[in-house]
Amino acid sequence: YIDELYSSEPDKCLGAIISLKNSVIGSNRQKGSVIAQGVVTRLMQLLQDKTLPVEIRTESAVTLGSLAKGTENHVKQLIDLGLAPLVLNCILTSGNPKLTDVCLRCACSIFSHPNAPFDLIYRDKQTVGHLLGLAMQSVSNQICVTTILGSSCKTTENQAMLCDQGGLYTLAALLCSQHYTVLMPTLNCIANLAYQNPNVSAMIATASFGGKSVADLLVGLMARDRPSDMQLSSAKCLTYLHRAGAIAPEDPKILYKTLPCLVVLCKKDRPCEERVLAAETIAYLTEVNTELQRLASISNQLIPTLASMLHCQPETNNNTPPRNNDPLVVANMKQAAFRAFASLGANDEDIRKKIIETERLMEEVVCGLEDTNEKVRLAAVRCLHSLSRSVQQLRTTFLDHSVWKPLMALLQGASDDILSVASSTLCNLLLEFSPAKEPIMESGIVDLLCSLTHRADPALRLNGIWALMNMAFQAEQKIKSQILNTL
């Protein structure tokens, strides 16, 4: 039937497409084989040929949509062949509802892929407006449109365009949907719309549907009888609204709803992926507010719960196999816990003490500095930096664990992100009262610190200068001379 795809007789061509479609549905192996045979280009030609019967175009789109539900590599190959702009053009120009629906489903699969050409969606406002217009026509359209608009919303300009085209009111209405499959991409779209955008977040927080504000609708979706991933996505939206300044930290929606919800979702009985996202969201929620840090630190055994993520115990839920043997899952658990600890300990001495006194915590931090995964190393050094703000701990715990040794090793050949946080931590370890100051000075740190003062990144230059200043304070003349000569 592959040969008949190229037939000039419409009936033969249509029959071949249907046979091809039936062969690839549900089989990734067959999808890979069809893509490898170069058939995709022919299907794309058929889809865009407006002189052909609409059945041929529709069945071509269905088959392409099935291929787009294959593996990540399959979707990447379709993207490389230019399927995304073709399908999007069909959505925008087709007058046939069935063809539009099928193309929308195909686009939904494509734009769920990390390598999708996301800029196509927000290239002009007509595209966004057209997609929003399609959203209210069916449940399937709602799922597809929110997925496409949400995954493509990457910049401040994208956020503004989605708002300007009335996206906020469509999303507010969809928060009242009874369908889980609609609510989840809608929540993701709202989160991406709000992220680090004070103007848009203020509009989201005050928008309403059916007499309820979006913020209150989000709180309703965090209820305990909702699926836990829905609770998590809703809490993430409220966290982003808070961090963008649209909801105050003392608002009950944050204090008594969002934070407690996230703490519960970190518990050992939850799936690993859920615990990771919950801990990362707690880290972001509490990062800059001392009161939220204090409340979180005494909430429902959060500190021991986060510590358990560093030891990565198997899940006790019989319905899900243990994931703690997967190196990527273990790394994600560790970096999420370290990030949460870094936020919790950012400002309060009592919280830092509580974190440091947690059993085996400092050993885990030291191990994290030497981890093979860069995300874990970065999160561990952020945690160490946060804890190094404690005068008491610099004099005791940090000396007991010789944290300066792995920190020094980490500085060698590190990425700029790690170097920035590690050098900030080093500034604290070089303070006059720190027992680590002398062994660090003896380890030949001067060259590295002086090299930082010549880096392009202003933050690295500043850290280098601060560290050298702390090192030179009340130092012997030979140290001061060494610094001057190296500079």
Residues 379, 321: one domain?
A: yes
Across the range 411-422, mean pLDDT stands at 90
CA 428 to mean position of chain CA atoms: 30
pTM of the model: 0.91
Residues 443, 360: one domain?
A: no
Residues 439, 362: one domain?
A: no
For 81-116, write each residue's pLDDT tens digit: 999 999 999 999 999 999 999 999 999 999 999 999
Residue range(s) defining the domain that contains residue 340: 266-387
Residues 412, 349: one domain?
A: no
Residues 270, 382: one domain?
A: yes
CA distance 238 to 244: 10
Inter-residue contact 89 to 124 (CB < 8 Å): no
201 inside domain: no
* DSSP secondary structure code for residue 190 in this structure: H
Band of pLDDT at residue 54, cut at 50, 70 and 90: very high
315 inside domain: yes
Task: Give start and end residues of each alpha helix (H) in 25-138.
Answer: 28-36, 39-48, 54-67, 72-80, 83-93, 97-110, 125-135
Inter-residue contact 257 to 219 (CB < 8 Å): yes
Question: CATH number of the domain that 349 lies in?
Answer: 1.25.10.10
Residues 365, 453: one domain?
A: no
CA distance 451 to 270: 46
Residues 271, 297: one domain?
A: yes
464 inside domain: yes
Of residues 482, 406, 487, the one with CA closest to residue 444: 482
Look over the chain and give the mean of its residue pLDDT values, rounded to a whole number: 93
Among candidate residues 363, 387, 411, the one where a domain is terminated: 387
Q: What angle do CA 229, 188, 289 make, to 5 degrees?
A: 80
Residues 322, 376: one domain?
A: yes
324 inside domain: yes
206 inside domain: no
CA distance 81 to 48: 14
Residues 410, 383: one domain?
A: no
Among candidate residues 360, 387, 414, the one where a domain is terminated: 387
Residues 298, 378: one domain?
A: yes
Q: Write down the pLDDT at residue 311.
A: 86
For 314-359, write each residue's pLDDT tens digit: 444 545 555 556 889 999 999 999 999 999 999 999 999 999 999 8
Residues 429, 358: one domain?
A: no
Q: Write down the pLDDT at residue 486.
A: 83
For 276-291, write each residue's pLDDT tens digit: 999 999 999 999 999 9
Cα–Cα distances in angstroms (integers) from residue 405 to residues 141, 160, 361, 449, in the given order: 56, 48, 17, 16
Burial class (CB in 10 A: 0-12, 13-18, 19+), 4: middle
Identify residue 378 by its one-letter amino acid code.
L
CA distance 299 to 264: 9
Least confident among 84-93, 394-403, 407-416: 394-403
CA distance 108 to 120: 13
Among candidate residues 329, 356, 387, the one where a domain is terminated: 387
286 inside domain: yes
338 inside domain: yes
Residues 354, 415: one domain?
A: no
134 inside domain: no
User: Domains in the chain: how many in total?
Assistant: 2
pLDDT at 19 over 50: yes
DSSP-derived pairing of the beta strands 212-213 and 208-209: antiparallel
CA distance 379 to 386: 11
